[in-house]
Structure 1
Amino acid sequence: MIDVVIVGGGLAGAASAYFLAKEGVEVLLLEREDLNTKASGSNAGSIHAQIPHAPFVENGEAWARGFAPTIPIMMEGIALWRAMEAELGVALDVSTPGGLLVARTDDEMRAVVRKAEIERAHGLPVEILGRDDLRRLAPYVSDAMIGGAFCPIEGKANPLLATPAFAQAAERLGARIQRFVAVAGIKRERVGFTLATTAGLVRARRIVNAAGAEATVVASMAGVALALEAHPIQVTVTEPVAPLVRHLLYSAGDRLSLKQAPVGSLLIGGGWPARCDARGRLSVSPRSLAANLAVAEKVVPGVAQARVVRTWPALVNGTADWRPILGEPPGVPGFYMAIFPWMGFTAGPIAARLVTDMILGRESGIDVSAFAPGAEAA
């Protein structure tokens, strides 16, 4: 019987394998395709800490106050990102120049200020900027922007490098990783679980569900219901251009994440929907692409000079409240969730470390009891 089987070979799964193997736990990771082929390797690499502005505007302050307790987790997650390059001995292109949310109208600015008040109450450093402050900090932003909010700890990392780095480090520590092995069923036993896989039966004392957008399917095999949905979104990258965007940039007027990679390419996203047909096949939405680029150019006019190289779709997991799902569901001991909807790249490593602490029965320094499966937002 294996001590811990991890289902899912994305960032949360690979990081879980690493942190558990580091503690001497016997680990087997199962991935039905190859590692890092889903959302963990297809996102834009943003590292967030602020409450996302679009759902704040759409859902209001009550929603934001329910989400805000995740801020300490994300702050700890960013500190972990900063430490992991040295720990893993691999460059991950981690950079935290700060996140900048810009506003064009007085109404947008008032919303920015209200959100910042909630963020500050949960310990997040956020500075409100007037027009002159914005010009000094980000002269590349359009003169039409009247102000914004700046969070100095946000930034980016490379999604093509992170998951493989954790996986390779886990294997060096003795973890086993089986690619192209799908889990078809999970049976709860008197002690532990039996997993039916395409490579045969596997017995495990404990399971970590780190299956991302397919976590609902994996959970249902163990008799656990999750209110988790897969959402098709898309990201665009341009040709390399001269240094332009210095921060992780957002717009208070519409969905946008904009940043510049070390090689000079601009990465443009923000959660715009991609297409998904009845068979689950993803494709790019030209309408979303045009709208996303229009928002980016409105905020940073210099973006218009960069030619688009590629746009690609991906499935991400999401919930209405955006809150993480961490730990054991009621009545199913030993079955652990490592899920952070929408923020999986930012929070993948910290979610993995928190679940590792739960498995080992030790205190993590962060109270995550409110995020246990089945827990309700206060």
Structure 2
Amino acid sequence: MTWDVVVVGGGILGLCLTRSLAAAGASVLLAERDMLGRGASGANAGSLHFQLRRQDTPLPFRAELIRRSMAAWQAMPDTVSDDMELHFHGGLMVGSTPDHAAALHAKIPADYEIGLSTRILDAHETAELVPGLSRGLSGVAFCPEEGAVNPLLAGPAVARAAERLGAEVRTGAPVRAIEPLAGGGFRVDVDGTPETARVVVNAGGPYAVPIGAMVGAPARHRPVSQMVSVLGRLPRLLLPMVQHIGARLTMKQTGTGTVLVGGGWLGDQTVPEATLPDTDAVTGNLALAAEVLPPLLSAPLLRTWAGLIPVTPDNLPVIGEHTGLPGFVEYVVPRGYAGYTFAPVLGEGLARQLTGQDPGIDLDPYDPNRPAVAGDLTAVQA
């Protein structure tokens, strides 16, 4: 069959893009080699981060992404309709030292500037909102606009929304070859089934490099392993999610009472591209979580898993066509750039661009041909 677009990769980025393309009237096939959300999306705790971590006003294109993403996630129940445990109970950003407290206070004006209503909580307000939070914290900022989603539910929910709009989503369907055609477009081998597409979008996340190599696209990122842990059910402790301004920590409680603990701790890096937890890192992550929220000490560790997530030299996404490869579009958002948070807006913008419309957001800073992402990737820090 001939498609307008074949999207390679079934993480949240590829799924949101597929839904937006289908909504715009494009014929679109998404091919995922495994199950949905098993890569970078599965190593994400589902936090919807809008607060800034420092006092500097972000670059204009990122500030606009934050503003639009707040609105996009608020509209998600109407966009998708299926339950994904999406909530907007707000987000806490905490600190443990006097310097952390100063940083929390200093960033408030920058948060206001991008449309957030973040404020510093006093001890009484903190205890009222999250009674179990440590009394030893040096500061707590609360942003009511923040929220969270269950990443195990979100991907399949967006996939079903895309299918209702006419997209086809295939799982267990690895792309084995991509061949540029003389007259334009591509022949794509999807698990032995030949497909033809005007455009191919490489949304393979940490697995995007070998997909790009099929057409000679240069690598602009490399994968690292990142972990998430889940603790056993507890009475309701957290409505808002929690993150730390000076350490790698995010926490949120699911609807079933389990607690997801993440923050970007790396898995075992000794075996390239392996998705193995690092025992010392798990211990450090959970110790920090219990330091911030002591009741977690009574919760058993149910599971820790690791997933690959890409990193880029300048920590910016890679979105667009490579020079000399018309119709082959790279679409990768690296670790630390809030890819889950920005997925609906980036997907909508790219879908608009691919269907001949104004993207509505500035995609130029993410050009895959920019000098900052060219060259040796082995020295890129995770």
Tell whether the structures are fold-level matches, with TM greater than 0.5: yes
Q: Counterpart of 1:298?
A: 291
* Conserved 8 A contact 1:338-1:352: no
Question: Could you say what secondary structure the match of 1:283 adopts?
Answer: coil
- Going from structure 1 to structure 2, the CA distance change for 1:246 and 1:176 (only over 3 Å counts) comes to closer
Mapped to 2, the partners of 1:104 and 1:276 lie a distance apart of: 28
Tell me which of 250, 254, 269 is aligned to 2:262: 269
Which stretch shifts more, 306-315 or 182-191?
182-191
Name the structure where helix makes up a greater proportion of residues. Answer: 1
CA deviations 1:254-303 (Å, max 9, x no partner) are 21001111111111111111125536432222211111111111111122
Could you tell me which residue of structure 1 aligns to residue 377 of structure 2? none
- Is the contact between residue 244 and residue 260 of structure 1 (CA under 8 Å) also seen in structure 2? yes
Q: What's 2:199 paired with? A: 206
Q: What CA distance in whole angstroms lies between the structure 2 residues aligned with 1:11 and 1:297?
A: 29
Residue 108 of structure 1 aligns with which residue?
100
Structure 1 residues 253 and 2: alpha-carbon distance in aligned structure 2, compared to 1, 3 A threshold: closer
Q: 1:252 to 1:219 in 2, by over 3 A?
A: same
Worse overlay, 80-89 or 238-247: 80-89
> Which residue is equivalent to 1:327?
320
Give the 5 Å matches for 1:1-378: 1-51=2-52, 53=53, 69-129=61-121, 131=123, 134-189=126-181, 190-276=183-269, 278=271, 280-342=273-335, 343-375=338-370
Q: Which runs of 5+ in 1 are unaligned?
A: none
Of 171-180 and 21-30, more deviation after overlay is shown by 171-180
Identity %: 34
Which deviates the most, 287-296 or 100-109? 100-109
Give the alignment's Cα RMSD to 1 decimal. Answer: 2.6
Shift of 1:375: 4.2
Instruction: Decide whether aligned partners of structure 1 residues 242 and 341 sit closer, same or farther in structure 2, where only a CA change above 3 A counts.
Output: same
For 1:96 and 1:321, locate their aligned partners in 2 and report how far apart those are by CA, in whole Å. Answer: 31
Whether the 8 Å contact between 1:44 and 1:267 is mirrored in structure 2 is yes
Unaligned runs of 5+ in 2: 373-382
Q: Using structure 2 for the length normalisation, give the TM-score.
A: 0.86
Partners in 2 of 1:328 and 1:125 — Cα distance?
Answer: 37
d(CA) in 1 for partners of 2:340 and 2:114?
A: 21
Q: Which moved more, 1:37-46 or 1:296-305?
A: 37-46
TM-score normalised by length of structure 1: 0.87
How far the C-alpha of 1:197 sits from its partner, in A, is 4.2
* Residues 216-241 of structure 1: CA deviation (Å, up to 9, x unaligned): 22233333324312121111111111
Partner secondary structure for residue 94 of structure 1:
coil
Q: Secondary structure at the match of 1:292?
A: helix
Mapped to 1, the partners of 2:69 and 2:235 lie a distance apart of 30
Specify the code of the residue in structure 2 equivalent to 1:357.
R
Query: How many residue pairs are counted as aligned between the two chains?
Result: 368
Contact 1:49 / 1:71 at 8 angstroms: preserved in 2? no
